[in-house]
Amino acid sequence: MKIVIADISHSKYAEIICETIAESAAVRGTGIARRTPEYITKKMVNGNAVIALDGDTFAGFCYIELWGHGKFVANSGLIVHPDYRGAGLAKKIKHKVFKHSRTKFPDAKVFSITTGLAVMKMNTDLGYKPVPFSELTDDPTFWDGCQTCKNYDVLTRTNRKMCLCTGMLYDPKDKDKSEPKKIKEKVFNRLKHIKETMFLKKDKK
């Protein structure tokens, strides 16, 4: 298994990457910003993606997006093919793309919004901290990408202040980032439960 910075030679995997992301979202019942093979290929050509390969077989992928004129960076589309799940590959890809983001865009803040407990834990290990959405990018193009999510109505009725996703941010200027604090799993679970209780109950009324 090798995890490398993707380039034009990996464009042949763009189709299966898009299919794997879409299938995973369907299984989990979550919304996702849909991307085309052309979009994924562009990320590879620009050197803004990481791909995991088992020989010539696609195993995993993640790409970098720039927002707010380069002030913010997001590591998006993290996916592992079903044949390679459960072996810690997602964490390795996450670490690789995070390191690449920090090297290529050293002054940018790295952020994430997610409902996934596993992603929250990986982010915490890398030094991300939970933050309100007001500390993330205000680039409307980023938030417009949430329109394909089934919870988009929650985001709109709170004026983009909160949703079922948790906002997380790595600030390179944070002097206390050398020793990221471990946030217990039960804290994340409680946070998700509170949000679900707040918003999903309203939908039942």
Tens digit of each residue's pLDDT (9 = 90 or more) over 22-67: 888 777 655 566 789 999 999 999 999 999 999 999 999 999 999 9
Which pLDDT score is estimated for 175? 55
Backbone angles phi, psi at 77, to 5 degrees: 65, 25
Residues 121-162 have pLDDT tens digits of 899 999 999 999 999 998 988 888 888 777 888 889 988 888
pLDDT band at residue 21 under the 50/70/90 scheme: confident
- The answer to whether residue 100 scores a pLDDT higher than 60 is yes
CA–CA distance, 171 with 177 (Å, rounded to integer) = 8
CA–CA distance, 102 with 61 (Å, rounded to integer) = 18
What percentage of the chain reaches a pLDDT higher than 90?
55
Which pLDDT score is estimated for 44? 97
Q: What is the mean pLDDT of the chain?
A: 85
Q: Supply 18's token pair.
A: 């898009």
- The answer to whether residue 196 scores a pLDDT higher than 80 is no
In degrees, rounded to 5, the angle at the alpha carbon of residue 11 between the alpha carbons of residues 107 and 19 is 95
Which pLDDT score is estimated for 149? 77
Which pLDDT score is estimated for 133? 92
CA–CA distance, 157 with 148 (Å, rounded to integer) = 16
Which pLDDT score is estimated for 118? 84
CA–CA distance, 137 with 59 (Å, rounded to integer) = 30
**Alpha helix (H) residue ranges in 29-133:** 37-45, 89-104, 117-126
Which pLDDT score is estimated for 145? 81
Q: Who's near 59: CB < 8 A, 6+ residues apart? A: 1, 52, 53, 80, 81, 83, 84, 89
CA–CA distance, 151 with 117 (Å, rounded to integer) = 17
Which pLDDT score is estimated for 186? 62
Which pLDDT score is estimated for 63? 96
